Amino acid sequence: MTRRMVLIAAMAIMVCGCKAKEDVGYYFNSPASIWEETVPLGNGRIGMMPWGGVTHDEIVLNEITMWSGSVQETDNPESGQYLATIRDLLFQGKEKEAQDLVYKTFTCLGRGSAGGEFGNYQIFANLCMDFTYPFSLDTTVRDYRRDLNMSKGLASVSFVKNGVDYFREYITSMTEDVGVVKLTASGKSNLSFQLRFKRDSKYSTYAEASCLVIKGNLSDGITTDGGMAYSGAVMVINDGGTVQVTDSCITVTGADNAQIFLDMATNYDISKMEIDKAINPEQKVLTSLANSQSKPYKEIRSKHEKAFSQLFDRVELRLPKNESSSLPIDQRLAAFEKDDSDADLVALYMQYGRYLLISSTRKGSLPPNLQGLWAHQIHTPWNGDYHFNINLQMNHWPAEVGNLSELHIPLMEYTRSLVPHGEKTAKVYYDSDGWVTHIQGNLWGFTSPSQDPSWGATNTGGAWLCRHIWDHYLFTQDIDFLAEYLPVIRGAAAFFSDMLVTDPRTGYLLTAPTTSPENAYFDEEGNVVSVCAGSTMDNQLVRELFTNFIQATQVLGITDTLCNRLSFQLPQLAPTIIGSEGQIMEWNKDYREVEPHHRHVSHLFGLYPGNELTYSKTPELMEAARVTLERRGDQSTGWSMAWKINFWARLKDGERAFKLLKDLLHPAGKGQGTYPNLFSAHPPMQIDGNFGGAAGIMEMLVQSHEGEVEFLPAIPTSWTEGYCRGLCVRGGKEVEFKWKNGELVNSRIY
């Protein structure tokens, strides 16, 4: 059977999955010894990561709005007057001088992200649990096991001590919107523990209505506690024994079983994208615990499980297993390095990406940030923020194809929330219509260029975010959605239509000043320079943005004069050019790159996630893309290797895509790859690699960017057989397919 099928002529051959479905997950046989061994739970708003210790357990708690910072005036009103000079200098070949001027004049006001004014996503708190056990001289612990069940969204710990079976189950309920820990012990009165909150900054706790409450204020970026108010509460429902609540802890003594309920909240209003002083987070959490604690755990758990699996079970992937497939996850990861025939680990990794998306966002919430939802520090790497030159977008690569389309919506809503801020930035810096955002974002509407132009001058963040709107439409065919979000795409297109400038040397329309994220080149004098006029990524992004907007108006039957202007400008955009080494040129001149192995591969945006480069349209550019990747090398940060899996999949090279996947799955230790809990290592942990890697596996299995569906475009020969159900393709369809001896046996598009 052919692997390519024109979408319209969809075949309807039943594929037999045959085997009963097993839950997807992994386990450890010891408590976590580092945070990267804890297992992530989340319901799109609150997150929990239990360490699972026998005498001391600790749950890292997260709440998606937990951000320091505040709305700041960051657009520099002086900047616009320098734009013409900066551009002239660039076009005169005085790149270094242009860059110096950009550093002086074309940045945000204030200290930006480095100074903390910008704010950062951070841990909510830790919930510490200290256990005491009935006295015994025998201190051994037997049969310890710590599980993550991804199909159901559950974590558990079980062990035997002094002949007593202990069991803890942790959920972040999708339906009650609270965290619950169920604790059981066989026999009677064997459960005694103490709970308290811990946080590495100023906070207070007190007892209220059988709850232990934590509260505090975050920094607004200027003062230490003038920002967001937060509060969390925990309470215990016991079966036997006693419970005592003081201002600092809850003590449970001699219970048979117990349930811990907890909730967290801030006074940030996502729908308004600002702090609402009228919101009382303490009241919120106390009310939610009062409502949920009366419900039987069994009922809470089964509702949660149903809601979770309704999302998770949409996709199934079966790949060959070997004897390592049943090992604890840390050992399994290490074994895969030596023997990659445990292809089932690849299926697990793909599903883990879907699991993380289900857990870290939901309708009405925020999109996952650099930490996803899971931060264990106050000062998170890169502020745990939103980066728009690859990272936030990569977080959403598995959303559509992975059959979690509704989880793409928070990104759209976030993008739309940037528009009014970005309109102001567009006027101030570029005297242009429309809206722009540069590379960094936060909860406070920051759209200015960042403080350091070497990475902060990129201005195509908004253009890139808009491709997600169009792709969501392509996958869902949801016309109402497209109509609702058309103004966002229009605003981004209007901006570029206005700000593009003609390069007098070539006649091409270019973005300027800009960068090719976050690489630098040597100018003719040998200076290291990042700021440039036009970059290949920008050209490709703007070309795609204009094309998508025009197509969207056609789909919606709208007449818009902007389309005429864009159609006139499109042929004037600089094309993607092959450089002297046969590579895709990264900038508009064939400069020598400072870091040939740079982690960003921005000039291949048109290969993936874009679709400017394909074998049918641009075979010579596909060859140049291959050369580019060879020159760039394979080893890099987690997200970079994840991106390269997608590139090689688009180049239809299954062996090389698999090689990159193996690099990504390399046990990270202190370096790059994957941590024991399967979190991606930049290092440190950064969630984008997980999402990009999951998307890469999907891209190896099925592609749909050329108006047809291609099954198994890039699988390695070692994946001799497999079964896949539920991935989505453009055109609003799902697929199911099965292969044997590397050949498609049957397939279905529905």
| Binding footprint of ligand FUC on the chain (CB under 6 A) | 370, 382, 387, 391, 455, 518, 599-600, 637, 639, 682, 686
Shortest separation between residue 163's beta carbon and ligand FUC, angstroms = 50
What burial letters (b/e) apply to 476-496, b meaning 16+ CB within 10 Å?
Answer: beeeebbeebbebbbbbbbbb
Closest CA to 48 of 132, 143, 120, 156: 156
Minimum CB distance to ligand FUC smaller for 50 or for 441: 441
Minimum CB distance to ligand FUC smaller for 365 or for 686: 686
Shortest separation between residue 391's beta carbon and ligand FUC, angstroms = 5
Query: Which residue number places its CB atom closest to ligand FUC?
Result: 382
Measured distance CA(275)–CA(544) in Å, rounded: 36
Shortest separation between residue 455's beta carbon and ligand FUC, angstroms = 6
Minimum CB distance to ligand FUC smaller for 355 or for 455: 455
**For the chain, how many helices (H) and strands (E)?**
19, 34
Q: Please name the residue ranges forming H helices in 147-280.
A: none
Residue with tokens 């599980």: 147
Minimum CB distance to ligand FUC smaller for 190 or for 519: 519
Residue 420 C-beta-side C-alpha neighbours within 13 Å: 6
Shortest separation between residue 439's beta carbon and ligand FUC, angstroms = 7
Measured distance CA(116)–CA(454) in Å, rounded: 19
Shortest separation between residue 54's beta carbon and ligand FUC, angstroms = 36
Closest CA to 432 of 466, 461, 459, 464: 459
Minimum CB distance to ligand FUC smaller for 216 or for 638: 638
Shortest separation between residue 381's beta carbon and ligand FUC, angstroms = 7
Minimum CB distance to ligand FUC smaller for 293 or for 640: 640
Shortest separation between residue 145's beta carbon and ligand FUC, angstroms = 34
Measured distance CA(724)–CA(712) in Å, rounded: 10
Shortest separation between residue 368's beta carbon and ligand FUC, angstroms = 13
Contact yes or no for 349/678 (Cβ under 8 A): yes
Contact yes or no for 557/633 (Cβ under 8 A): no
Minimum CB distance to ligand FUC smaller for 390 or for 573: 390
Minimum CB distance to ligand FUC smaller for 116 or for 134: 116
Which contacts qualify for 160-167: CB closer than 8 Å, 24 or more apart?
161/54, 161/133, 162/133, 162/134, 162/136, 162/138, 164/133, 164/134, 164/190, 166/54, 166/190, 166/191
Minimum CB distance to ligand FUC smaller for 259 or for 360: 360
Measured distance CA(387)–CA(464) in Å, rounded: 11
Shortest separation between residue 535's beta carbon and ligand FUC, angstroms = 15
Q: 213 pairs with which residues across the strands?
A: 206, 233
Residue with tokens 């790159």: 593
Minimum CB distance to ligand FUC smaller for 599 or for 650: 599
Q: Mind spelling out the 3-state secondary structure of 622-659?
A: HHHHHHHHHHHCCCCCHHHHHHHHHHHHHCCCHHHHHH
Shortest separation between residue 609's beta carbon and ligand FUC, angstroms = 16
- Bond prior to 513 in cis (omega within 30° of 0): yes
